[in-house]
Structure 1
Amino acid sequence: MCSKMKRRIVCLMILKAIPALADNPLMGRLRPDIAPKLRFFTVGKYLILYRTMQDGVQIVRVIHSAGDLPHLF
Protein backbone atom coordinates (compact mmCIF):
# COMPACT_ATOMS: atom_id res chain seq x y z
CA MET A 1 0.00 0.00 0.00
CA CYS A 2 1.40 3.41 -0.94
CA SER A 3 2.07 6.05 1.67
CA LYS A 4 -0.57 8.35 0.17
CA MET A 5 -3.20 5.65 0.66
CA LYS A 6 -1.98 4.98 4.22
CA ARG A 7 -2.21 8.69 5.07
CA ARG A 8 -5.73 8.81 3.71
CA ILE A 9 -6.78 5.77 5.76
CA VAL A 10 -5.28 7.20 8.96
CA CYS A 11 -7.00 10.54 8.37
CA LEU A 12 -10.33 8.78 7.84
CA MET A 13 -9.84 6.75 11.03
CA ILE A 14 -9.12 9.92 13.00
CA LEU A 15 -12.09 11.75 11.49
CA LYS A 16 -14.32 8.79 12.31
CA ALA A 17 -13.14 8.80 15.95
CA ILE A 18 -13.99 12.46 16.58
CA PRO A 19 -17.81 12.09 16.57
CA ALA A 20 -17.44 9.04 18.85
CA LEU A 21 -15.42 11.18 21.27
CA ALA A 22 -18.05 13.93 21.10
CA ASP A 23 -20.75 11.37 21.96
CA ASN A 24 -18.70 9.83 24.76
CA PRO A 25 -16.12 12.41 25.90
CA LEU A 26 -14.79 10.26 28.73
CA MET A 27 -13.54 7.55 26.32
CA GLY A 28 -10.04 8.96 26.32
CA ARG A 29 -7.81 8.64 29.32
CA LEU A 30 -6.47 11.41 31.46
CA ARG A 31 -2.70 11.93 31.68
CA PRO A 32 -2.27 14.55 34.43
CA ASP A 33 1.47 13.84 34.46
CA ILE A 34 1.70 15.20 30.90
CA ALA A 35 -1.20 17.57 30.31
CA PRO A 36 -3.73 18.26 33.05
CA LYS A 37 -7.28 18.69 31.77
CA LEU A 38 -6.55 16.94 28.45
CA ARG A 39 -7.67 13.47 27.46
CA PHE A 40 -5.78 11.14 25.14
CA PHE A 41 -7.42 8.75 22.68
CA THR A 42 -5.42 6.35 20.52
CA VAL A 43 -6.19 5.80 16.85
CA GLY A 44 -3.66 3.46 15.29
CA LYS A 45 -0.24 5.01 15.93
CA TYR A 46 -1.70 8.45 16.60
CA LEU A 47 -3.05 10.20 19.67
CA ILE A 48 -5.96 12.59 19.64
CA LEU A 49 -5.48 15.11 22.45
CA TYR A 50 -8.71 16.81 23.43
CA ARG A 51 -10.55 18.53 26.22
CA THR A 52 -14.13 17.95 27.19
CA MET A 53 -16.52 20.83 26.66
CA GLN A 54 -20.08 21.36 27.75
CA ASP A 55 -21.35 20.58 24.25
CA GLY A 56 -18.80 17.96 23.13
CA VAL A 57 -15.03 17.99 22.77
CA GLN A 58 -12.35 20.36 21.54
CA ILE A 59 -9.53 18.70 19.62
CA VAL A 60 -6.24 20.22 20.72
CA ARG A 61 -3.74 18.15 18.72
CA VAL A 62 -3.29 14.96 16.79
CA ILE A 63 0.23 13.59 17.12
CA HIS A 64 2.17 10.42 16.41
CA SER A 65 2.38 8.28 19.53
CA ALA A 66 6.17 8.06 19.20
CA GLY A 67 6.43 11.81 19.80
CA ASP A 68 7.95 13.25 22.96
CA LEU A 69 4.73 14.20 24.75
CA PRO A 70 6.14 16.05 27.78
CA HIS A 71 8.02 18.46 25.52
CA LEU A 72 4.82 19.47 23.75
CA PHE A 73 3.37 20.99 26.91
Structure 2
Amino acid sequence: MAEIKASMAGSVWKIAVSAGETVTEGQDIVILESMKMEIPIAAEADGTVKEIKVNESDFVNEGDVLAIIE
Protein backbone atom coordinates (compact mmCIF):
# COMPACT_ATOMS: atom_id res chain seq x y z
CA MET A 1 0.00 0.00 0.00
CA ALA A 2 1.30 3.46 -0.87
CA GLU A 3 0.06 6.79 0.42
CA ILE A 4 0.29 9.58 -2.13
CA LYS A 5 1.09 12.78 -0.22
CA ALA A 6 1.10 16.46 -1.11
CA SER A 7 4.61 17.74 -1.80
CA MET A 8 3.59 21.29 -0.90
CA ALA A 9 0.61 23.27 0.38
CA GLY A 10 -1.97 24.28 -2.20
CA SER A 11 -5.45 23.74 -3.58
CA VAL A 12 -6.56 20.55 -5.29
CA TRP A 13 -7.07 21.78 -8.86
CA LYS A 14 -7.87 18.44 -10.51
CA ILE A 15 -8.23 14.79 -9.55
CA ALA A 16 -6.93 12.80 -12.51
CA VAL A 17 -8.02 9.29 -11.43
CA SER A 18 -10.88 7.66 -9.58
CA ALA A 19 -11.14 4.91 -6.97
CA GLY A 20 -10.80 1.47 -8.51
CA GLU A 21 -8.68 2.70 -11.43
CA THR A 22 -5.39 0.95 -12.22
CA VAL A 23 -2.42 3.34 -12.34
CA THR A 24 1.24 3.05 -13.28
CA GLU A 25 4.27 4.54 -11.57
CA GLY A 26 4.67 8.16 -12.66
CA GLN A 27 1.03 8.62 -13.68
CA ASP A 28 -0.55 11.85 -12.41
CA ILE A 29 -2.99 11.25 -9.58
CA VAL A 30 -3.79 14.79 -8.41
CA ILE A 31 -2.82 18.22 -9.70
CA LEU A 32 -2.33 20.90 -7.05
CA GLU A 33 -2.36 24.64 -7.65
CA SER A 34 -0.02 26.78 -5.61
CA MET A 35 1.15 30.31 -6.37
CA LYS A 36 -0.59 30.15 -9.79
CA MET A 37 1.46 27.07 -10.74
CA GLU A 38 0.10 23.58 -11.42
CA ILE A 39 1.99 20.86 -9.57
CA PRO A 40 1.29 17.26 -10.65
CA ILE A 41 1.45 14.61 -7.93
CA ALA A 42 2.26 11.21 -9.45
CA ALA A 43 1.85 7.61 -8.36
CA GLU A 44 5.00 6.26 -6.75
CA ALA A 45 4.22 2.66 -7.77
CA ASP A 46 1.94 0.61 -10.00
CA GLY A 47 -1.34 -0.42 -8.42
CA THR A 48 -5.03 0.22 -8.00
CA VAL A 49 -6.42 3.41 -6.48
CA LYS A 50 -8.08 2.28 -3.26
CA GLU A 51 -9.26 5.69 -2.08
CA ILE A 52 -9.12 9.37 -3.00
CA LYS A 53 -8.89 11.35 0.26
CA VAL A 54 -9.52 14.85 -1.13
CA ASN A 55 -12.00 16.72 -3.31
CA GLU A 56 -11.34 19.28 -6.02
CA SER A 57 -10.87 22.78 -4.52
CA ASP A 58 -9.82 21.39 -1.10
CA PHE A 59 -6.80 23.09 0.46
CA VAL A 60 -4.05 20.67 1.53
CA ASN A 61 -0.85 21.09 3.48
CA GLU A 62 2.51 19.54 2.70
CA GLY A 63 2.44 15.88 3.75
CA ASP A 64 -1.35 15.49 3.67
CA VAL A 65 -2.48 12.15 2.19
CA LEU A 66 -4.22 12.67 -1.16
CA ALA A 67 -4.83 9.08 -2.22
CA ILE A 68 -4.07 5.47 -1.32
CA ILE A 69 -2.81 2.95 -3.89
CA GLU A 70 -2.69 -0.80 -3.35
- The TM-score with structure 2 as length reference comes to 0.29
**Relative CO higher for 1 or 2, CA cutoff 8 Å, sep ≥ 6?**
2
Which has more strand, going by share of residues? 2
Q: Which has the larger radius of gyration?
A: 1
- The TM-score with structure 1 as length reference comes to 0.28
Which has more helix, going by share of residues? 1
